[in-house]
Amino acid sequence: ILIHFYSVKQKANKENKIRKKQLTSILDKLFQTTNITDENGVFMKVLEVNNICKSFGELKAVNDVSFSIEEGHVFGLLGPNGAGKTTTIRMVMNIIIPDSGKIAVMGEDDARKINNMIGYLPEERGIYRKMKLGEVLHFLGELKSMSRSSAEKEMNYWLDRLGLMEWKKKKIEELSKGMQQKLQFIATILHKPKLLILDEPFLGLDPLNATMIKEIIMEQKKAGTTIIFSTHQMESAEKLCDEIMLINKGKSILSGNIHQLKDGFGKRNIHLKYDGADDFLDNNAMILKYDNFGNYVEVQLKE
């Protein structure tokens, strides 16, 4: 379709300018909505992870994990501390090499080859403590091939939006942890990446700032960006994600479309807080099984 429109556009160049304008706008729209395809024209997943494993000594930190993400989707990697989320993300970024399994990021086996198209927020946040905010953002923008003027324009927008403008000429070490977190988030999205990889993006943020980051993630999604983020806060996932994967002790426990998962599992799984005796749990005709944590219980109801 694109080639057809191109040839028509070339003709239209000669014929009249109005038609050229209309066709240019159609072409722009087509480009915006066209998925990435391989050489056979088959739609490619932006990220494909197949059966990856990683051990540290005896510990299987990631054990046979697979998932994929479609263009423009938000994917949540959920799990408690030590589940293997960061190790998985580091393998996606090719910082850690998997013991086995395969990863393809936009069709590439090494994410670093397409560094400019990726925005990566690592779990460890400390960056260039002695440098000033503006300098750091210019430096990081340059690493992503941004011109000085476009880095300046983008950073001013984001510093203003995230309430950091007055800190632009201050050194990083003068910022609070939450502010540093926001700065690192700006550094991640400054160059308008097509794929955002965010390791615990809400960690250390107060509720107001966490909400702001969630809003920005949703805006990025609307603009067509593909996003993967890790979190141990399950409640963050529902509103943001198209798909999730729940991992624990390195293994994938549950994965898929968030709404389908909720329909399948949500109706029969409930959390209850209670005071006093817990004898209502035993010999209850409605309960299939439960995990009792004292004054809080997770219950699976019978079908």
Binding residues for ligand ATP (CB under 6 A): 56, 59, 61, 79, 81-87, 123, 232
CB of 180 to ligand ATP, least distance (A): 17
CB of 120 to ligand ATP, least distance (A): 15
CB of 123 to ligand ATP, least distance (A): 6
Cβ 238 vs Cβ 76: under 8 Å:
no
120 vs 167, which CB is nearer to ligand ATP?
120
Which conformational region is residue 179 in: left (phi greater than 0), alpha (psi within -120 to 50 degrees), or beta? alpha
56 vs 296, which CB is nearer to ligand ATP?
56
Cα separation, 181 vs 132, whole angstroms: 15
170 vs 232, which CB is nearer to ligand ATP?
232
Cα separation, 69 vs 100, whole angstroms: 20
Helix or strand (DSSP H, E) at 220: helix 207-222
| 1: three-class secondary structure by DSSP | coil
Cα separation, 273 vs 297, whole angstroms: 6
84 DSSP assignment: S
79 vs 141, which CB is nearer to ligand ATP?
79
CB of 247 to ligand ATP, least distance (A): 7
CB of 231 to ligand ATP, least distance (A): 8
67 vs 167, which CB is nearer to ligand ATP?
67
